Chains A and B, each alone.
Chain A
Amino acid sequence: MSRQDFFTVWRANPFFVLEVPIEASPAEIERAGQKLLALLAVGSDGARFYQTPLGRAARDANGVRQALAALRDPQTRVLHELWADIAQRAKQTENIAEVWEDAERALGWTEKWPA
């Protein structure tokens, strides 16, 4: 499947990329975007990654520009607000039947397989 993973697309939500709350004003969004672009231009390591409720993701200047453009349009912004508003989950009960993390080691393969 060459198509993008659901999580990858979800993590690229403009609010996550710019690390601004969904109630942020347009001016706050612009400021956050310009600051990130400046940091990326000087090669800041901290700006290259961001945290989302769905896990860590990488960003570049192009992604920041796209996020800014998306949030300038009110309709698109409302849609992204809906996707970005994720409640904190109550601590998940341990699901014992989840994955077998070292399965490939059972075959003796020396490297982890890609997800």
Chain B
Amino acid sequence: MAGLIGLIIFIVIWWLRGRPVALPASFLAVIARIVLLIITVLAVNRIPLLFLLVSSHTADVLEFILWAPVAIIFGVPTLFLEWVVVPLGMPRVAYWTVRCCWPLGLIKELDAGGVMYAALALGHAPSAGPLFDLLQRRLNRAKSVQGAGIVAIGLLAALRSDRDRACRLFQMADMLDTRLISRAARAIARDWLVVDAARIGNWREVVRLGRRGRASSRWSYSVARIAERLVDERPRCENLLLWLCWLVAPRRRATLPLLRRALALPRAPRPSEPERSEGAGLAQALADLAGALKNRHAQDDLLRSISAVDLQIDSEPTRARIQQRLEALDARQDTDAIVADFRKSLTSHLADLLEACPDLARRQYAGRLIKEAEAQVRCRLFKDIEAQCTDYNERLKNQLSLETVLEWEIWATLRDRADRLLQIDPASEHVLFQTMYIPVCNFAVFQQNKCKRLALAHEMYAWLRRHSDSHPGASQLLVRNIRAALVWQ
């Protein structure tokens, strides 16, 4: 205790002499918490529990009652935020709690962290109102934007109902280096992604997101284990283990119906749906496709339906019917042209579908139409990526940088495009790296040296590094750049 007080006096004297000590903010936050803990312990010691019941030491009891909430809020602000402020939907309180209480995980980006919790609270509030614009402005003014900042941008996009943008940002936050994002911020991003996948029935994605080994978070892991049961993935969890996972995870009441649904499934492997009859006609094949599209994440069903439509459009009965209708309507076009037009429009729809669900390209039943759609999407994505790389080159030439939030969003979009391309066609990694390496790496260096946006630069280097296996020289340079960005932090 004496040592601690001595240290504080030493720092104060040094500061008063006009030579401020450059101590890291996290160190100061820890010291403040230790002091707070000591004062709380002393305050508690003054009041034996018995006296709480008899009011002879009224002043002490009153002091304790006033002091205890302050100690809790300042001592463990994250718990206070997550258990009280956010569920009650109090964005202003959430913002100022972060600003004043300095949660350790958000110490490097208090503004952005405040906006993150405020946006989270706003999602729980009955209406967003003018606060939304206020939060956006505060985020734009934030000095440092790292993991919590990205999550905050994503939450604000989600509040604007811009689901795609929110997903892109949360995916990036979920993959960020542990030194750039707090555990709480990562859990918010991942939980959002899990919920987004679960609500559209993409249970395989839920499993992928939730099961991350040591990096797993309790709730997403628990939902992932339930999802395994729902999609019948091996190895499946025993009932007891499923109950345990549910029990240790938060949000038990909300997850209980899902758990019951999973437990109600038969233990034996479910028989796969019977193959559809190939002779059922185009009308039936289209009906099956419509049914499969409603749950596009039941991918095998969807691919089977697409193959059936492809088969039926070229079948003899369909061609005869087209011929008959063309004659009846006195049309000059031939059957082949109609079939080709039908295929073209189906392929165009499939390309949109494939861009949204890139996993489709790698499934067992991916047929000719999917391959054609894949080529269309690949071309589309490459054009988008090249356009953004050109923009990076131009802005680098003119030394022009946008607001931090905007730069993060642009990078999230580019990264998302590149990741989708790699999911559709993993073999294009080499070409993709060659296209992106120079513009992105140079722009990242510009962001690091001139704009001092180290987290953004680090994220760009790290993404490039992950895809640089075929270029050892580039890989080494990127490793050095990653280290430099972290040292500057």
Contact = CB atoms under 8 A, between A and B. Distances in A.
A37 to B, nearest CB: 23
Contact of A108 (B123, B200, B352): B123
Given A96-B265, A98-B201, A86 B195 contact: no
Contact of A74 (B126, B198, B258, B326): B326
B199 interface: yes
Contact of A101 (B199, B284, B355): B199
Given A85-B286, A100-B258, A110 B352 contact: no
Given A53-B290, A78-B322, A87-B284, A113 B329 contact: no
Contacts of B352: 1, 3-6
Interface in B263-288: 264-265, 280-284, 286-288
Contacts of A54: 290
How large, as a class, is the contact surface on chain B?
A: 35 or more
B349 A97 contact: no
Interface in A42-83: 53-54, 74-75, 77-79, 81-83
Most B Cβ at <10 Å: residue of A78, A98, A105, A109: A78
Name the prevailing secondary structure of the A interface residues. loop
B281 A79 contact: no
Interface in B75-128: 86-87, 89, 123-126
Contacts of A89: 287-288, 290-291
Interface stretch (B210-218, B330-338, B402-410, B438-446): B330-338
Interface in A2-46: 3-7, 9-10
A6 B349 contact: yes
Contacts of B255: 106
Contact of B337 (A6, A75, A85): A75
Contact of B87 (A83, A99, A108): A108
A68 to B, nearest CB: 15
A74 B352 CA distance: 28
Given A53-B287, A108-B123, A74 B331 contact: yes
Contacts, number: 134
Name the prevailing secondary structure of the B interface residues. helix
Given A101-B199, A105-B254, A87 B287 contact: yes
Interface stretch (B158-166, B464-472, B478-486): B158-166
Nearest to A76: B341
A79 B338 contact: yes
Contacts of B254: 102, 105-106
Nearest to B355: A1
B287 A92 contact: no
Given A7-B293, A105-B254, A107-B191, A113 B298 contact: no
Interface string B16-43: 0000000000000000000000000000
A113 B326 contact: no
A85 B164 CA distance: 33
Contact of A110 (B125, B283, B325): B125
Given A6-B352, A107-B192, A113 B291 contact: no
A9 B333 CA distance: 24
Nearest to A6: B349
A109 B87 CA distance: 9
Given A99-B199, A104-B199, A113-B161, 18 more contacts: A1-B355, A78-B325, A79-B341, A79-B342, A82-B342, A85-B282, A85-B286, A86-B287, A96-B230, A97-B201, A97-B203, A97-B231, A99-B198, A102-B254, A103-B199, A106-B255, A107-B192, A114-B163
16 contacts: A6-B349, A74-B326, A74-B329, A74-B333, A75-B338, A79-B338, A85-B283, A86-B287, A87-B281, A97-B230, A98-B201, A99-B201, A100-B258, A101-B199, A103-B198, A110-B125
Q: Which 10 A-B pairs have the closest CB atoms?
A: A74-B331, A106-B254, A103-B199, A74-B329, A87-B283, A99-B201, A97-B230, A100-B198, A87-B287, A75-B333
